[in-house]
Amino acid sequence: AQSVSQHNHHVILSEAASLELGCNYSYGGTVNLFWYVQYPGQHLQLLLKYFSGDPLVKGIKGFEAEFIKSKFSFNLRKPSVQWSDTAEYFCAVNVENRDDKIIFGKGTRLHILP
């Protein structure tokens, strides 16, 4: 079945640690890829996106993600996390030219210890 998988449900890190959150999808064809972030008590906001071109994309707040087509992956990274990065992170996929729907992963809760 077509799906978006986020491998880590809950991640706990100390400040300044490096972060990598995994995301894999199982859709064929051309895809648009997204990472959304939900800070405590808030709505989802777009963190970064990949449509085409350079597979390494940079988003807000020092986040970046790399699209590896052969691995069907779009992992999120940050070299040094801050306490304010505590949030839930969602990977999402839209299949190009199919419809407007995007499929979200289950999310990864990130907790940064001060």
Partner 1 sequence: DAGVIQSPRHEVTEMGQEVTLRCKPISGHNSLFWYRQTMMRGLELLIYFNNNVPIDDSGMPEDRFSAKMPNASFSTLKIQPSEPRDSAVYFCASTTGTLAKNIQYFGAGTRLSVL
Could you say which of 1, 40, 43, 53 contacts partner 1 (CB under 8 A)?
A: 43
How far is Cα of residue 79 from the mean position of the Cα atoms in its chain?
Answer: 15
CA angle 66, 44, 101 (to 5 degrees): 75
With H, G, I as helix, E, B as strand and everything else as coil, classify residue 61.
helix
Could you say which of 3, 10, 14, 46 contacts partner 1 (CB under 8 A)?
A: 46
Could you say which of 40, 54, 99, 114 contacts partner 1 (CB under 8 A)?
A: 99
Q: What is the rounded CA–CA span in Å between residue 32 and residue 16?
A: 30
Q: According to the binding rule CB under 8 A, does residue 51 interact with partner 1?
A: yes
Catalog residues that contact partner 1 under the rule CB under 8 A.
32, 34, 42-46, 49, 51, 90, 94, 97, 99-107
